[in-house]
Structure 1
């Protein structure tokens, strides 16, 4: 006899495929849309860069990249970004020094000011990349639209899709996004479903973003370094030493950020902080030369095209100046990301190591140094390893980098990040 108190049987759980299939179309749309936002901002900043750094000084009879023009442009960029932060509705969201990749979705009203400040930062020669403001803008727009159109979908999914799509477009491959999201998922207790179920939609968004960027812009970190054939024990030792030394070098910036941030915020107003920061960046640009300006990707390729043509003093100067420029840009309130300039710092540091010890293979030196600096400044292990392997574009070096990660990670783990909390204290 049936128990009268028993209710109807619970509904049968939906199969994983039926849960995942409806996610495909939104993920594709978000992937393409996020890539188009990124490409539009990068195109606009490049066009503005040509006007500011080539057309305008030519029209005025001033040498482009002359000491005078570098000083004028960086200070003017500080004034322009300060005006955006001060006057544009919505401003630019939280203090740039307190934001990383992703985070809590911003209000849609913040996006115009954020993208405008990011575009001016990129075009003006500031040592910051596009990743933080673009990810924040895409997350804000996707989260807002997703909650409006499909309120039953968890908000965290919209954040994951927008972040993955933008990272895929930035690096030209969905692999980087998968690594970032999988690292984030390990910090979320109680997640349901297999890892690949949870990565399914973000990978589609990342793949769509990567393909859109690849078809339209062909992004690449490949530095055309000499390929490593049959790496040996000497290469492994060199990779471990260079990566660890580069990590220590990158930590200098992380430890200095709270003090520099506090000093700039004593100036209180963005129309003072940003112009002063721009003036200091101009002085650093004059000292380091034009390759130490801008986000660093194209400059890094130009740097490595002349392997063996730089003196150790020149390479040391560029590495130190770029590190200081990243510190000042992050501390004074400029809007931008840290990954691209950190890769330039790593490339210059690696070339310095190879200049001092010519027996080290150039690809081993550069990729290991990029790995160390990124580990120190981002604490994103998988992304650091991915970018380091990408600059060498050699599968044979991957095993060396995996092992080189271990001593470098021991150096950086538990140390301050290149990011502050809301009180201005370093994050770990």
Structure 2
């Protein structure tokens, strides 16, 4: 999230102002959902060509060496985009938070292209970071032309909330995620006055996605009464998930440095694609892509995988997430991490069948998402939504506490960019003029 410590506070809005801005908020939310859906449809169409049409025409097995071919080619294509497209695909997603400052509009076409390629090619990243950046930039630009008095900050909040509502199919996710951010903003006014417009945008976006037929973040898992002993097991599972996630967090900067030692984006992404292809060959097709559809595949028949297979799936997906995020692919880390949590939860249930599978999955999701997103509200929401059992929520509020203690002082699952020196700023300003050259790592 963006840092509000050095930004002037938003004045508390009046009810009349909230009503006047309600329609723009709803429109922004709907537009954010449409942009997300368009990106998903385009990536899905290309995915069908790469993974079904072409291998069928060539008579090759899409679950064999074709995985290595497609992911290496995807890395090469993404690298070409990062090297030569205007704006070079925007900032490295490894260095950005979920919501960042608006990008320049000339950056957006390249960001759309490299994101769609990564989603279609099976890269283990989700669309959240790029699509939020795209919608924020478009919204701020449109409001700047049509309603300049609204201000860029409020535009950013509405666009980000709308996109999060669209991504998770619920405005609740956006409300929870932005509660902490808005509570930290200095200035008077009730918190719900500040949440009013972002929540309206999120509700409009979530509703639009439902109307467009997008699958909700909703699964059906067997439920069972939770006992204090099961609660203890949930705490252990969540802490194991935290430890696993922290292994990835500590490895992230090392792997990022290793790939970026190649310096040229074309080489970085191509090498990353090759490694992802080999990982996909080991873990199978279920370890490819952002992980939402693959999570549904896991839940469809959890008994289809033994403990050894689940260990391989969890480890391959974790390594694939670190590699994909390190190799300059544009994408988010929340959805792949959610898949890792789901697989880890099923593994816990497989090892101890007496544990309720919903509790196992929800606890593992909490642990891994705390590491990746560093947001307790988001972790609780996703865990409760995936488990599909509201009766688990009080127990999950206990499970999250020791997991948070493990995470709170640990490094972020993000590459924090070094502060730019004045000379670097001058060089950047020169590069943004008439002559551009692709950045090196």
Which residue does the alignment assign to 1:5? none
Aligned counterparts, 1:162-201, within 5 A: 162-188=159-185, 190-201=186-197
What is the CA–CA distance in structure 2 between the aligned matches of 1:360 and 1:151, rounded to whole Å?
A: 55
What is the CA–CA distance in structure 2 between the aligned matches of 1:106 and 1:139, rounded to whole Å?
A: 8
What is the CA–CA distance in structure 2 between the aligned matches of 1:393 and 1:332, rounded to whole Å?
A: 35
CA contact (8 A) 2:12 2:187 kept: no
With normalisation by structure 1, the TM-score equals 0.93
Of 137, 140, 151, the match for 1:140: 137
Of 299, 304, 313, the match for 1:304: 299
- Report how many residues are paired: 410
Which residue does the alignment assign to 2:223? 227
Which residue does the alignment assign to 2:259? 264
CA contact (8 A) 1:39 1:217 kept: no
Of 16, 25, 28, the match for 1:27: 25
Aligned counterparts, 1:86-125, within 5 A: 86-125=83-122
What is the CA–CA distance in structure 2 between the aligned matches of 1:124 and 1:218, rounded to whole Å?
A: 20
Helix, strand or coil for the counterpart of 1:308? helix
Is 1:241 aligned to 2:236, yes or no? yes
Shift of 1:128: 0.3
Larger Rg: 1
With normalisation by structure 2, the TM-score equals 0.91
Cα RMSD, aligned residues only: 1.5
Is 1:78 aligned to 2:70, yes or no? no
Task: Give a deviation string over 1:222-243, Cα, whole Å, max 9, x none.
Answer: 2311023x32112211111111
What is the CA–CA distance in structure 2 between the aligned matches of 1:91 and 1:224, rounded to whole Å?
A: 41
Helix, strand or coil for the counterpart of 1:126? coil
CA contact (8 A) 1:350 1:365 kept: yes
What is the CA–CA distance in structure 2 between the aligned matches of 1:330 and 1:403, rounded to whole Å?
A: 31
CA contact (8 A) 2:374 2:412 kept: yes
Shift of 1:65: 1.8
Of 60, 76, 84, the match for 1:62: 60
Task: Give a deviation string over 1:230-262, Cα, whole Å, max 9, x none.
Answer: 321122111111111111111111111110111
What is the CA–CA distance in structure 2 between the aligned matches of 1:15 and 1:420, rounded to whole Å?
A: 36
Helix, strand or coil for the counterpart of 2:411? coil
**Stretches of structure 1 lacking an aligned partner (at least 5 in a row):** 1-12
Which residue does the alignment assign to 2:412? 417
Shift of 1:187: 3.0
Aligned counterparts, 1:357-368, within 5 A: 357-368=352-363
Shift of 1:155: 1.3
